[in-house]
A and B are shown apart, each in its own frame.
Chain A
Amino acid sequence: MKKLFPIIKNTAISAVIITVMYWINVLLKFTLHINSMIPMLYVLGVFFIAIFTDGYFYSIASAVISAVLVNHMFSSSGNGLQYTYNVITSTAIILFVSLLTCTVTAVLKKERRIKEASLRAHMRANLMRAASHDLRTPLTSIYASSSAILDNFDELTDEQRLELVREIRTESHGLIRMVENLLSVTKINTEDVELTMTDTVLEELIDTVAVKYNRHFPEMPLTLDIPEEFVSIPMDAMLIEQVLFNLLENSVIHARGMTELVLRVTLDEDRVNFEVWDNGCGLPKDKPDKIFDEYHDSTLVSNETVSKRNMGIGLSVCYAIIKAHNSTLRAENNDSGGASFSFALRRTADE
């Protein structure tokens, strides 16, 4: 099915364009009696086909068909030999145009691919840099705490030893979260993004996120504001769960002075809008959306506000996941002065 799809798509595009050109010509010929435009319009048609289809095959085939059609329209008079000659000449001309276009578009398409690939490579390199920085901090702490216990076991009091072990566990938790995020990035940044799209019940998604949130941050209550009705949304549930959790975690860690944290979901006709709302200190005033750009800009990755505790990776993971769902993650300051992160998902599968 996957293999068949491009063939069907390309054939359909070619057929539609040729048909449209044919009817335009018929219209011109019989209403305005203009014949001179016929070859030009077919050349234009083949030109479009060359742009919108993949490879050479479709444009060459269209060129031959167009040539036959051109001559069909002219050939109310003339003998058989003349007809064949005309077909060959116009095929040659149209073919030439189409081959030229194909070559040019192929070059353009290739260039775009290279550019995308290098952008991805660039992003990955930055993430790795952010990751190695973010990984080193908890690792240092774990290493230091465990060495302290091993080297000074007898000198430490029970309380001190417990404190160090607790430290190890807290830092390990941080590491676990970070590795989860890194794995998702790898999943998304590979050439063929493979999302596991399943119909997910909104309530179950929110429940899973809320349970996880309450376990991690029992000290900061989360308010849920979600619709009552049964909604099922196609998504990669594990990834979206991660986005929501990352955003909530981001608020807990960065929104200084926050007293209220809300996870809100509203329904549109064809979309489901998710919002993580807090009334903390808000995002930098000048350009809230910039918060995502920073992870794509290597010079800013080591910036302290960004790389503090995992969020460097966390937010850029969110951004990438939402993008892979054909949507955009937006960051802005809300009426309370705090930050709002929002995105929308389609209620029915794309296509």
Chain B
Amino acid sequence: MSNNKYKILVCEDDKNIRSVVATVLETNGYQVIVAGSCAEAEMMASSYVPDLVILDLGLPDRDGTEFIRNARSHSGVPILVLSARTGERDKIEALDMGATDYITKPFGTGELVARVRAALRTVKSVGGVVSKGVFELNGMVIDYGRRLVTIDGEEIKLTQTEYNILDFMSHHTGQVMTYTSIINEIWGHSDLNAIKKLQVNMANLRKKMGTKPGDNRFIINELGVGYRIQDPM
């Protein structure tokens, strides 16, 4: 069988970037479909049913965010936003609207492939894996069954909330989780001080994990947007 490859729809209006992205993905073993506008992308998405969409926000016909909104009304396909908009607000908007991840231009191809891999992995885990088994990353082990976290074999004592945050994030490795998405997951609702509450919890988590600034072994800061747990390769 030749076609057990993941199908990726690349929607980008700039021809150069589109062809570079397509080439990189093809050499990494993915099957690529391309589109140059929002309308074309929607057509391609419905006829080819891709496993992942890479989407530029600044498209000639409509704003890419509309594609996300439409797609989210009927499908859970992971969407990787590729955009020149670098403001925190743009990122948060796209992510909270349902984009899986966000890469700002200019980007390195290594980073692109890593994010694609991470985004594809979420397809398999979404709605699937219950908190069973273990998660391992750089010496940190989360034992979901026993709700236990160890680093280099040493147990670290976490509060309920801290554990829940870590648990949630470890199920979405490689992806940025916005403050809002974490807050909604952990506390179920968000109030005025929710972000502060989350930040304090994260600070305690970092302290317990023994990480110092500049060391992003476990949790990566996306300043002003949220947090990300590195993808265990």
On A, residues with C-beta under 8 Å from B are: 172, 176, 180, 183, 196, 198-201, 203-208, 210-211, 213-214, 222, 224, 226, 230, 232, 237-238, 241
A198: which of B202, B206, B215, B224 is its contact (CB, 8 Å)? B224
Total number of B residues with any Cβ neighbor in A under 8 Å: 21
Provide the bound-state CA to CA distance between A205 and B89, in Å: 17
Establish whether residues A201 and B199, one from each chain, have CB atoms under 8 Å apart when the complex forms: yes
Contact A203 B213 (CB under 8 A): yes
> A183 contacts which chain B residues (CB < 8 A)?
86
Q: Could you tell me if A232 and B223 are in contact, using CB atoms closer than 8 angstroms? A: no
Q: With an 8 A cutoff between CB atoms, is B23 at the interface?
A: no
**Chain A residues, Cβ within 8 Å of B106:** 172, 176
28 contacts between A and B (CB under 8 A): A172-B106, A176-B106, A180-B86, A196-B89, A198-B88, A201-B199, A201-B203, A203-B203, A203-B213, A204-B199, A204-B221, A204-B223, A207-B214, A207-B221, A210-B214, A211-B221, A213-B214, A222-B214, A224-B212, A224-B213, A224-B214, A230-B200, A232-B196, A232-B199, A237-B88, A237-B224, A238-B87, A241-B223
Q: When chains A and B are docked, how far (Å) is the Cα of A194 from the Cα of B87?
A: 12
Q: How far is the CB of B108 from chain A (nearest CB, A)?
A: 9
B interface residues (Cβ-Cβ under 8 A, vs A): 86-89, 106, 195-196, 199-200, 202-203, 206, 212-216, 220-221, 223-224
- Which residues of B lie under 8 Å from residue A237 when comparing CB positions? 88, 223-224
- In the complex, which residues of chain B have a beta carbon less than 8 angstroms from the beta carbon of A232? 196, 199
Knowing A172-B106, A224-B214 touch, does A200 contact B203 (C-beta < 8 A)? no
CB distance from B128 to the nearest CB of A (A): 32
CB atoms of B203 and A211 under 8 A apart: no
A176 contacts which chain B residues (CB < 8 A)?
106
User: Closest approach, in angstroms, between the C-beta of B205 and any C-beta of chain A?
Assistant: 12
Q: Which of B106, B199, B216, B224 has the most CB of A within 10 A?
A: B224
Q: How far is the CB of B231 from chain A (nearest CB, A)?
A: 16
Contact present for A210 and B213 (CB under 8 Å): yes
Q: Which residue from A200, A213, A222, A226 sits with its C-beta under 8 Å from B223?
A: A200
Distance (Å) between the CB of B103 and the closest chain A CB?
Answer: 14
Q: Which of A172, A199, A226, A230 contacts B213 (CB 8 A)?
A: A226
What residue of chain B has the Cβ atom nearest to residue A201's Cβ? B199
Question: With the chains together, A206 CA to B206 CA distance in Å?
Answer: 14
Q: Is the CB of A211 within 8 A of B214?
A: yes
B203-A230 in contact (CB<8A): yes
Most buried by B among A172, A180, A204, A213: A204
Q: Are A238 and B224 in contact (CB under 8 A)?
A: yes
Task: Name the A residues within 8 Å of B215 (CB-CB).
Answer: 207
**Chain B residues within 8 Å of A199, by CB:** 195-196
Residues from chain B with a CB closer than 8 A to the CB of A207 are 213-216, 221
User: Once bound together, how far apart are the Cα atoms of A317 and B8, in whole Å?
Assistant: 40
Q: Please indicate which of the listed interface residues A176, A180, A207 has the most CB atoms of chain B within 10 Å of its own CB.
A: A207
Q: How far is the CA of A222 from the CA of B212 in the complex (A)?
A: 13
B53 to chain A, nearest CB (A): 25
Q: Contacts A200-B223, A230-B203 known; A206 to B196 CB distance under 8 Å?
A: no
- Nearest CB of chain A from residue B111's CB, rounded to whole Å: 11
Residue of B nearest to A172 (CB): B106
Q: Roughly how many angstroms separate A112 CA and B87 CA in the complex, as a whole number? A: 32
Minimum CB–CB distance for A280 against chain B, Å: 21
Bound Cα distance from A203 to B202, whole angstroms: 11
B88 pairs with A196, CB closer than 8 A: yes
Q: A196-B88, A232-B199 are in contact. Are A206 and B213 (CB under 8 A)?
A: yes
Identity of the chain A residue whose Cβ is nearest the Cβ of B204 in the assembled complex: A230
- The docked-state distance in angstroms from the alpha carbon of A2 to that of B215 is 42
Contact among A208, A224, A230 with B221 in the assembled complex (CB-CB below 8 Å): A208
Residue on B with the closest CB to A236?
B224
Query: How distant is the Cα of A230 from the Cα of B212 in the complex, in angstroms?
Result: 13
Q: With A and B bound together, what is the CA distance between A263 and B213 in angstroms?
A: 11
Closest to B222 in A: A208
B199 touches A196 (CB 8 A): no
Which 6 A-B pairs give the minimum distances between C-beta atoms?
A210-B214, A207-B213, A206-B213, A208-B223, A204-B221, A237-B224
B212 contacts which chain A residues (CB < 8 A)? Answer: 224
Chain B residues, Cβ within 8 Å of A198: 88, 224
Compute how far the CA of A241 lies from the CA of B196 in the bound complex, rounded to whole angstroms. Answer: 20
Q: Which residues from B are CB-within-8-Å of A238?
A: 86-88, 223-224
A203 partner residues in chain B, CB cutoff 8 A: 203, 206, 213
By beta carbon, the residue of chain A nearest B219 is A207
Residues of B near A180 (CB, < 8 A) are: 86
Give the complex CA separation of A87 and B150 in angstroms: 84
Which residues does chain B contribute within 8 Å of A172, judged by CB atoms? Answer: 106
Question: How far does the Cβ of A149 sit from chain B's closest Cβ, in whole Å?
Answer: 16
Q: Known contacts A172-B106, A196-B88, A238-B88: does B223 contact A205 (CB below 8 Å)?
A: yes
Closest CB of chain A to B92's CB: distance in Å? 11
The answer to whether B87 touches A196, judged by C-beta atoms less than 8 angstroms apart, is: yes
Q: How far is the CA of A203 from the CA of B223 in the complex (A)?
A: 11
In angstroms, Cα B222 to Cα A198, docked, is 14
Q: In the complex, what residues of B have CB within 8 A of residue A211's CB?
A: 214, 216, 220-221
| Distance between Cα atoms of A204 and B87 in the complex (Å) | 17
* Chain A: CB-nearest residue to B89: A196
Q: Roughly how many angstroms separate A207 CA and B195 CA in the complex, as a whole number?
A: 18
Complex Cα–Cα for A203 and B203 (A): 8
